[in-house]
Amino acid sequence: AWGAPQQPVPAAPAPRRRTGGLVAAVLVASLVAGGIGGGIGYWAAERGDNGFSSTTVSSGQAPASFKRDPGTVAAVAAKALPSVVTIQAKSGGQDGEGGTGTGFVYDQEGHIVTNNHVVASAADGGTLSVTFSDGKTYDAEVVGRAEGYDVAVIKLKDAPKGLTPLPLGDSDKVAVGDSTIAIGAPFGLSNTVTTGIVSAKNRPVASGDGSGGSSSYMSALQTDASINPGNSGGPLLDASGAVIGINSAIQSTSGGFGQSQAGSIGLGFAIPVNQAKNVAEQLIKTGKPVYPVIGATVNMQEKGQGATIATQGSGGTASVTPGGPAAKAGLKAGDVITGFGDHPIDSGPTLISEIWTHKPGDSVKITYERDGKTATATVVLGERTGDS
């Protein structure tokens, strides 16, 4: 009965005070709702005694059909799902280790775009299979991989006719607060659709797959759409169904970027599609990635003061490549780069993330500090082919 006395809630242990508070709040809400319900019931009974025969209202007939308007999440998902695939990658070793990821149809020739870390285990003698939302499975092979960008292109060995590529949006025009839709296979659950918004832009992210391989760097789109291990390589769509990013990494409570079994806490990161498209086109054309470079080695550990040009490069090489872009711009060892184009720089990974949003040959204004004084220079980016 609503009027029955409630048993006192036992005091929660000190470490769980916040949980106890939540339970108390739920109980209070239940009591409030109960009081309202009891009041309504009492009012109806009293009115019934005065000649009202019933308080029951008949419901109308359900609509014969329900139409989902274009632009709804359901409509976007229904159109996109046939072009999103689940990728199974297995290594060529006896143990056959591998994993599950996601990709999407890039063209009618059967090229699929995904993350490098999704297919890396199958790159040398392993096997790849691709499963569409209708359950049909095809063998695939690696066309090209870019470890630094964490982008890969694979191709169906016997591509069916009638493939529908997903439309590509313009990630430069994305605004914080725009709606997002993520499609993938989190923890192997294929064809999973989640929604959210663009939480931030130009988020510098350095991620790894946990295997000890090279890190990848991105100036990422951040989203609160639920992304988990298995979503990697899948599309991040806008409200029109166009791809604006490739879901690639999450921040987990374990404290590191990358795919962690801890799962989503609402901090997901996607490679902007404008960058991914440039990389994919290069991989399809030559099989190798091309990276823009400044021709200088920067400290990758320090953070907060900018990107410091190291006093010595790796293996005893010069920190500033003679005749390279940085040298031509007048940069020297010990200079601290604090700005790249319109973006502030707080670390070496942030600088690399911003450099890789450009193309070789681009001219970019650099702000730097030397001996406590701020100066600027224009750097014409060089290029490096392949992963080193």
Q: What is the pLDDT of residues 129-169, one digit of tens each?
A: 999 999 999 999 999 999 999 999 999 999 999 999 999 99
**Alpha-carbon span 120 to 116, nearest angstrom:** 6
* Average pLDDT of every residue of the chain: 82
Candidates 3.40.50.1360, 2.30.42.10, 2.70.98.10, 3.40.50.2300; correct CATH number of 289-385?
A: 2.30.42.10
What mean pLDDT is predicted for residues 183-192? 93
- What percent of the chain is modeled with pLDDT above 70? 76
pLDDT in the model for residue 64: 63
Range of lowest pLDDT (24-28, 154-158, 235-239, 317-321): 24-28
Specify the 3-state DSSP secondary structure of 207: strand
Catalytic: 117? Answer: yes
Point out the catalytic residue in the list 117, 171, 199, 260. 117
Does residue 112 have a pLDDT over 60?
yes
Angle at 195 between CA 191 and CA 198, to 5 degrees: 130
CB of 200 closer than 8 Å to CB of 209: no
- Classify domain 81-156 by CATH number: 2.40.10.10
Specify the 3-state DSSP secondary structure of 142: strand
Point out the catalytic residue in the list 83, 150, 199, 226. 150
Does residue 13 have a pLDDT over 70?
no
Does residue 211 have a pLDDT over 90?
no
**Band (19; pLDDT cuts 50, 70, 90):** very low
**Alpha-carbon span 303 to 67, nearest angstrom:** 52
CB of 291 closer than 8 Å to CB of 356: yes
CB of 119 closer than 8 Å to CB of 101: yes
Burial class (CB in 10 A: 0-12, 13-18, 19+), 354: buried
**What region does 256 belong to: left with phi over 0, alpha with psi -120 to 50, or beta?**
beta
**Band (50; pLDDT cuts 50, 70, 90):** very low
CATH 2.40.10.10 location in the chain:
81-156, 171-284
**Band (9; pLDDT cuts 50, 70, 90):** very low
What is the DSSP code (8-state) at residue 229? T
Catalytic: 335? Answer: no
What mean pLDDT is predicted for residues 329-346? 94
Sequence-distant contacts of 329-334: CB under 8 A, at least 24 apart: 329/366, 329/377, 329/378, 329/379, 329/380, 330/377, 331/294, 331/296, 331/366, 331/368, 331/377, 331/379, 332/370, 333/309, 334/308, 334/309, 334/370
What mean pLDDT is predicted for residues 112-121? 94
CB of 283 closer than 8 Å to CB of 153: yes
Adjacent-strand bridge partners of 196 = 180
Q: What would the two tokens of residue 292 be?
A: 């823009």
Indicate the class that CATH gives domain 171-284. Answer: mainly beta
Catalytic: 358? Answer: no
**Band (254; pLDDT cuts 50, 70, 90):** low
pLDDT in the model for residue 67: 72
What mean pLDDT is predicted for residues 209-230? 82
Q: 274-304: per-residue pLDDT in tens? A: 999 999 999 999 999 999 999 999 988 877 7
pLDDT in the model for residue 259: 43
Does residue 224 have a pLDDT over 80?
yes
pLDDT in the model for residue 339: 95
Q: Could you write out the DSSP letters of every residue in 63-102?
A: PS---PPTTSHHHHHHHHGGGEEEEEEE-SSTT--EEEEE
pLDDT in the model for residue 27: 35
pLDDT in the model for residue 36: 30
**R_g over Cα of the chain:** 27
Q: Give buried/exposed letters for 7-16 (b at 16+ CB in 10 A, else e).
A: eeeeeeeeee
What mean pLDDT is predicted for residues 310-327? 83
**Alpha-carbon span 124 to 142, nearest angstrom:** 9
- What percent of the chain is modeled with pLDDT above 90? 63
What is the DSSP code (8-state) at residue 60? P
Q: Which of 122, 131, 177 is nearest to 152 (CA)?
A: 122
Q: What would the two tokens of residue 203 be?
A: 């988020």
Point out the catalytic residue in the list 232, 252, 264, 347. 232
pLDDT in the model for residue 220: 94
**Alpha-carbon span 217 to 270, nearest angstrom:** 11
Indicate if the alpha-carbon torsion angle 342, 348, 350, 354 is positive or negative. positive
Q: Could you write out the DSSP letters of every residue in 161-191?
A: TT--PPPB--GGG--TT-EEEEEE-GGG-TT
CATH 2.30.42.10 location in the chain:
289-385
Burial class (CB in 10 A: 0-12, 13-18, 19+), 124: exposed
What is the DSSP code (8-state) at residue 320? B
pLDDT in the model for residue 125: 84
* Residue 60 amino acid letter: G
